[in-house]
Each structure stands twice: as C-alpha cells, then as structure tokens.
Chain A
Amino acid sequence: MTWETVIGLEVHTQLATKTKIFSGASTEFGAAPNTQACAIDLAMPGTLPVLNAEAVRMAVMFGVAIDADIGLISAFDRKNYFYPDLPKGYQTTQLERPIVLAGKVDIQLDDGSTKTVRIHHAHLEEDAGKSLHEDFHGMSGIDLNRAGTPLIEIVSEPDMNSPEEAVAFAKKLHALVVSIGICDGEMAQGSMRFDVNVSVRKKGEELGTRTETKNLNSFRFMERAIVQEVARQIDLIEDGGTVKQETRLYDGDTHTARSMRSKEEANDYRYFPCPDLLPVEIDQAYVDAVRASLPELPEARRTRFMDSYELSAYDASVLSDEIATAAYFETVASRCGDAKLAANWVTGELAARLNSEDVLIQHCPISAEPLAALIARIIDQTISNKMAREVFAAMWEGEGEPDAIIEARGLKQVSDSGAIAGMVDVVIANSAKQVENYRKADEAKRPKMLGYFVGQIMKASKGQANPKQVNEVLLQKLDALL
C-alpha cells in the first residue's frame, strides 16, 4: 500500500521596512538587547499602535506578485496569550480580514513539469521578541528588539506531496520576496521561518490528521523535519496507532522534533478586533500603482535569460531565481561581453565556491566587475581557463584585481608566434623518434599523437604558451615533414 504525503506551509516573512509595524523603532538586525524596543514595542502603559504604510505596501506588493486578490478593507485582531516574548499579552494579527487573499505560486519539479501551489491568504502581523535561554541565575533573558517587526504570514493550501515539493515551494517564495524587495531573505537571521503542516494518507483515502512543526528556519531543516515527520506518522499508523493533532517544535541542534502539547492545547486565543487600530482601506488605484511598480519577477526573468542570452533552461533557472544572483550575472555578462561564458563562471566556479564556503552572493568577496575583467582575459586569450581558475582563487583570497594577479604571478600566455615557433622547432628536433612514428602513422591516428608534442611545448613554456597557437604551429610544422 502506498502512502501519500500532504503538506501545507505557513511562512513567516519579515518585511524589509526601516521601522516596526506599529512603532517608529528601527528593525535593524543585531543591535544590543532592547535598544530598539521603544515604549510601544515594550507595551508600556498608555502606548498605542499606528500602522506603518510601508508594511501595507509590501504586503500588497506580495499579493500582486502572486496574482492574489487584495483585501481592499483589511483589519487587525488581537490574539491573546501570555508569553514573555509577547509584551502586550496579545499578538496583533489579521484573522478575519487579511490584506492578501487567495493567490498562487508555480513551482518547477525535477521532472521538468510545473505545479501550482495555491496560497490561501497572507496576512500582516507583528513578530515577537526573543527569549534567551542561557542561564541568568536560573532566569531567562528577554530581548524585545524583534518585537513588532512586520511580518506577512503566507499560508499555503495543502498542495504539496513531498519534502522536495515543499522545499521547491519554499525556495520559490524566498526568491520571490527577495526579488520584489520586501524581505532581505537572510534565513540565518530568521527573516523567513516555516511552520509545516504534514499529514499522510493511503492513496484515495480522506486527509489524515495533521501535525504542525514549528521553528524551521532553513530549507535543509525543513526537508529533514518533513522526512522525519512523515516516517513517524507512517510508523505510528502501521503500528496500529493514530496521529494526534499537535504542534511540534523542531530543534536545529539535535535535528529532532518534539510535541508541545501541554502548552498549545489549553490555549483559547480569544481573537477579537483590535480597538486601537481601525480597518485599513486601500483602493484599486493604490493596488494598480503597486502592481505597476512591481520589479521583474523570477519567472519573467527566466524566460528573458533564455531568449536574450540563449541560456539553457537549467542555467536560466539557476541564474534568475534569486535577484542577487541574476543581477550579478547580468553585470558580468554585459561587462565581459560573453553571456554564455559568464553563465558558466557564475553557475560553475563561483557557485561552487559560494556553496563550499557557505557565503551568500550578496556577500561574495569577488564582485561582478572584477569577475567580468577576469573573463575578459580569457576571451582575449591573455590567460587560459586553467590559469583563470588560479587567478579566481587568488581574487577570492583578496589578492587584488585580475590583471595585477596575472602580472604578479607571471601567468600571461605567450602568444608571440615567433617564440612559439621556436619552441616547436626545438621540441621537434629533440623528438626524432616520435616524429618518425607520427610520419608512419595512419592519418586517422595522427591527431591523438599530437598530445605528446603539445605537452612538451607547454612544459618548455612553463604552461604559458597559448595552447591554441601551439596546436596550429605544431600541425603546420609536422605536416611539412610528411
């Protein structure tokens, strides 16, 4: 009997506003504890919220990007519960009237097909602060800098059927929100966090009981958590048990999840409309203006890369998903003048290095202009591809501009035809036996025999002879001896 997995995601996305959703305190990451928590964020008595216009604009921007209906009148509700990172004792969120209604996101599957994941809605809400669990004499420390950071919570329909699809969807959303500039995408800083609803069922049966796993802030954790949870549920059912509806908390250190049942199940959030905030009304003209300001979406960019740079579907997809990568690639391509070579370098050497060093392209030590300059030296035959990789490594280590490195390391190719001809002559003169063999060989076998001569010449030139020129001159001279 085969099992089917059903997955839905709730994605908390921090909006890249300068200030909090309801206060004028900065949202900058990494400040000293509580230095960016103002009276409103601390829920000091008598303080009141006022909604940030930019948070509204960004939420609407997301809505138009996923082709969603926009809630022209949306409203905030209070979700009541006690927790030390929630200063007011309620979270201000949108339950009944969210700002973004149903929409959709297409994902590309490994088999090349496209699947549509429906978005149920996305709503504006405030982030909570942080509890620091290291020991303060048996106490916890509360930092409320993050409290009040604007979020949109994006709620998908349960349209995904495998961990891979869930990850593809999550990555797609990540690429999208970064592309349209509403989120910095810094996963390690918690800018995007996933809650995963998972259930399993036998094919054709009704939906199984779902669990919610919270606190996933990387694609890898999310994938692992889903794989684990699916296995747990199947084991449970196959052993004659039943899945309980519960909230589970994933621990990124131990890679295990555990039930939070005691805390969650007693909760009754007592939602009601927030009387300190009034309904938010926007008009169609506003929505249209936001739509008009929408930057190019990854999907459109992919098509454009295939058309105008003649890239393969794969390269176009890799280069267009993230706006930072796309921008980097386009700069390299236009500066060096060879889009295909630029694509090879960005998806090859550069991507491999970023990946192995776990660096985001935004923080890449080699910016696009110097990489283009390096590629230009390959195109004008100053250096070979192999030498270019050496120069690239040196650039990564901060040794400077490509030309300076080529100069300093003496990597310049010898392209002087006189010098190359001289070297060829010496090698031919010193290789009587090999020349004889070459002459005797069938014409079809001769190209294979060139390798020896080329090797000798490159050795003599310490690798600096232009290989293309060496080949040409060598063939010419050997053929003359036939």
Chain B
Amino acid sequence: MHNLTLTELSAGLGAGEFSSVEVTEHFLARIKRLDGTYNSFITITEEQALAQAAMADQQRAAGSVPALCGVPIAHKDIFCTDGVRTSCGSKMLDNFVPPYNATVVENFAAAGVVVLGKTNMDEFAMGSSNETSYYGPVKNPWQTDCVPGGSSGGSAAAVAARLTPAATATDTGGSIRQPAALCGITGLKPTYGRVSRWGMIAFASSLDQGGPMARTAEDLALMLNEMASFDSKDSTSLEREVPDYRANLNRDVSGMTIGVPEEYFGEGLNPATEQAVRDALAELEKQGAKLKAISLPHSHLSVPAYYVIAPAEASANLSRFDGSRYGYRCENPADLRDMYMRSRSEGFGDEVKRRILIGAYCLSAGYYDAYYNKAMQVRRLIKDDFVSAFKDVDMIAGPTCPNPAFEFGAKSDDPVAMYLEDIYTIATNLAGLPGMSLPCGLVEGKPVGLQLIGNYFDEGRMLNVAHRYQQASDWHSRCAPGID
C-alpha cells in the first residue's frame, strides 16, 4: 500500500478499495517500524491521525468529498499545529504547543487530509543537510551515511522511505528542491505568496515559501490544489485565484521553449550530475520542446546576496524567541539581560546563532548600505535577469544541486561549502519565482534532480512539463535500496 502514490491512494479510497483508517494504520505502523533508522519524524500524531481517518471514512460514506479526503500526509515541523508541539527543529521550541493552526494546516484539514505527524528539519530551516536539527540528523534513505538535504530533510526522507505519500515543506533558498533532489522525490516551491505564510514559523520572510513534496508531479498538483490559497492574514499572500493544477498535466510540451542557463553548468557541477540533467533535457527535446541556451549573468551573486538578506531578516524574525512568553527559558536567570542571553544562547544551535550574528552585522550602523542595501539592489539585478530571460523562453531548466548527497560531517565545519550546495536554487527565492525538482538519475547510487524554474504563477505549466517527463522516465518511481 505504501508503494501507491498519493493519486493512487486517493483513487483507491474513492473506489472503496481500502479505508482511510486502513491506510493510516498502515503508514503509522511503517513509521514506527522504520523511522528509528531515518529519524524523519519529530512527532507522530497517531491518535489524532486515526480519529481524522475515521472521520474521513464517515464523510466519504456520507457523500462526495474532496480528492484528498482520508489520505495521510505529514507536515514539516515549521507549520503550527493546534495542540501539537511545533518545534521548528529547535530546543527553543521543544515545549511549544501552539493554540492555532497554520493556514496550510487548516487548508488540508478542511480537505479531510489525515496528518501522520511532524517531520524533522534543520533548526529554524537554516541548513542544507538536516544536521542542525535539535532532534538529530535525518538519514538519507538511499544511503544512510549521507545527508537527506535540508532544511526539509525530514519531509523528503519520509516520502522517499515511503513513510508518507506526501508532505508539506518550505523553501527559503532551496529547502524543498535540494532535499527532493538528494532523496529522489519531486518537490515544488511555488511563486512567492502563492502559499500562505500564516502560522509557518518565519526564517526569512521575503524568501520563505511553503510547498509540497511527493513522489510525482501529479501528486504535487493534487497537494498544491489544497495548499495554495489567498490568505487575508498574510499581507504578502497573492490575491489570485488558485487554478486546478491537475487540469493541464498531460498537455503536449512540443513547441515549448526551455531555457538552459550556461551559468548552471559551470565549474563545480559534478560531471555525472550534469550528464543526468542533460539526458533529461534531451528527453524533453525528444518530446518536442525546444532547448535554448540562455544567460543569467548575475547568478554568481545569488549566494552572496542571499547570505545577507536571509540572515538579516532572520536576525529580526528570531528576536521574539526571548524566553518571555513561550518556548525555552534558562534556569534561574539572574536578571533580565541574563534571561535573554542565556535563553537564546542555550535555546539556539550554532548555525542559527551564526546567522543571527551575521544578520545583525549586515544591518548594523555603518554597514547597512554596504551589505543589506547592496544585497537588495543585487536582488533586483537577479530578478531582472529572469524577467528578461522569460521574454524568450517558457521555462528554465538545469540541475537542482551540483552534487548528489554528501556524507554526514563532510561540510558541517565549512559553512561556505555548505552554502554553495544551494547555488542553483537560491536565485529563484530571491526573484520570487516558482521552482521544482524532479528525479532525473542516479550518481554513485544516489539520486540527482532536474530543476525547473517557471515564470511567475506558472506552477501549472511546470507540473505539466514534469509530468510529461515522468510519463517517459522511471527515476521518480525508483525506490531506495532496502525499502520494500
């Protein structure tokens, strides 16, 4: 049953082949049996899941229900869940139980979706390897001595290990696409503002975007149909109708122009990864798409700009974690300053503290113009590169990451090397464009991803291209060794 895709599970429930309670029990049992190895969940919500499943079965029996009614998924532990601990992968929020739901959580609940639990992640979504989680690293199901990517490594590994058919995730600089690539699954970061940020714990507000992870593009379409919404509680939410993302999945890709940026195939790209990506592009070409070499000349500046903007926003966003009203407070603070200093120093991990300090530095008196303002100007240059590219092409494609999954500890002492793993994904966040990753090969036995970058609001077309590719390839249906 766990080998069925989200779409197949939805169809099976509709056809009465199994009940939601059966599906839910199956996945819960699987999580209990296998997640000791992967550590992809922080919290398992068994009781709630079973109650939701029973409710979904009743609703289905009573009449017509939304497509995802009774299907189980998992939420990244960055989305606030009413009554369920929401840790954001941090000791700071280890005891935090929000009395409210994120809009994303509400949307899925309204569709009758069952929630199996909350998935592991890099602390406050800061990381590309899942090594910064307070709850320990997540193991890549393809090779358990390797990282699953991050920050949505728990969601990616859980889908790859078939502990859940799909999961929610967030992407600030590649946190959906990079782990999707490294775990051999499909993930989508929508246009900035397409998915509500209400109740999604902020890392860098102008870059954060929620999105789905699943095995196939078709599953992502099903997920995004529920996940995307206009939300009046989020000032940056897009006031635009949500289309049916499944409507055009099968459209022909012939006649479409796909831009291939030369900057995404330069130094640092693993040759085997490059080959896999080129093969995937050839498949799309075979289906009638036209490939066109393009240039995104400011690409090399996206990592530097990102490591000013994201830490700056984070340094302010994380000030609320001060030990006063919720979360971790140090033992016996001597005075107010001591409470702030120790609660934050003990409650945050090293990477989070490092980024807060970098952010504070970039905003401090005398440095604002040289760093923050400069980065925001470069951000416009990066966006303008894409805007002009999209005058000539319908979509952009390239590698998601330069390399397949690396081993634990390989980059954890070298932040800059770690940051450069996101070199192809970050620009998309800076520009606010939608991006996705889909499996396109194996390198050293580990998955690598093809990245698609769409124009604003063009998620439907990206899912269409990905679906057509997946109709002609089987990378997405391959299973990590040892997973039955």
Q: Which chain A residues have a beta carbon within 8 Å of chain B's beta carbons?
A: 39, 42-51, 78, 80, 82, 84, 87-90, 142, 268, 270-272, 275-278
Contact = CB atoms under 8 A, between A and B. Distances in A.
A46 B200 contact: yes
A272 B316 CA distance: 9
Given A84-B324, A89-B320, A89-B322, A45 B96 contact: yes
Nearest to A23: B233
12 contacts: A45-B80, A45-B96, A45-B202, A48-B233, A80-B316, A87-B324, A88-B320, A90-B316, A268-B364, A270-B368, A272-B312, A277-B235
B206 A275 contact: yes
Contacts of A78: 316
A172 to B, nearest CB: 36
Contacts of A39: 99-100
A45 B320 contact: yes
B235 A51 contact: yes
Which of A82, A272, A277 is most buried by chain B, counting CB atoms within 10 A of its CB?
Answer: A272
A50 B325 contact: no
B319 A82 contact: yes
B372 A46 contact: no
4 tightest CB-CB pairs across the interface, nearest first? A89-B319, A270-B363, A275-B205, A275-B206
B112 interface: no
Contacts, number: 96
A49 B98 contact: no
Interface in B335-351: 336, 340
Please report whether the interface of chain A is mostly helix, strand, loop or mixed according to DSSP. Answer: loop
B5 interface: no
A42 B100 CA distance: 13
A52 B340 CA distance: 31
B330 interface: no
Given A80-B316, A271-B368, A276-B202, 9 more contacts: A43-B320, A44-B325, A47-B198, A50-B232, A78-B316, A80-B315, A88-B320, A90-B316, A271-B363
A44 B99 CA distance: 10
Given A39-B100, A275-B206, A276-B205, A45 B93 contact: yes
Given A43-B320, A46-B200, A272-B312, A87 B206 contact: no
Interface of B: 79-80, 86, 88, 93, 96, 98-100, 102, 197-202, 204-206, 232-236, 312-313, 315-316, 319-322, 324-326, 336, 340, 360, 363-365, 368, 372
Given A84-B336, A89-B322, A46 B198 contact: yes
B320 A87 contact: yes
Contacts of B316: 78, 80, 88-90, 270, 272
A48 B319 contact: no
B159 to A, nearest CB: 23
B228 to A, nearest CB: 17
Please report whether the interface of chain B is mostly helix, strand, loop or mixed according to DSSP. Answer: loop
A83 B241 CA distance: 41
A46 B102 contact: yes
Contacts of B86: 45
Nearest to A84: B324
Contact of A278 (B232, B235, B326, B360): B235
A99 B325 CA distance: 32
Contacts of B88: 45
Contacts of B372: 272
B360 A270 contact: yes
Which of A42, A78, A80, A89 is most buried by chain B, counting CB atoms within 10 A of its CB?
Answer: A89
B320 A50 contact: no
A48 B234 contact: yes
B326 A44 contact: yes
B201 A45 contact: yes
A78 B364 CA distance: 13
Which of B102, B316, B340, B360 is most buried by chain A, counting CB atoms within 10 A of its CB?
Answer: B316
A90 B202 CA distance: 15
Contact of B235 (A43, A49, A88, A271): A49
A26 to B, nearest CB: 18
Given A87-B325, A275-B206, A48 B197 contact: yes
B195 to A, nearest CB: 13
B368 to A, nearest CB: 7
A270 B235 contact: no
B77 to A, nearest CB: 11
A47 B205 contact: no
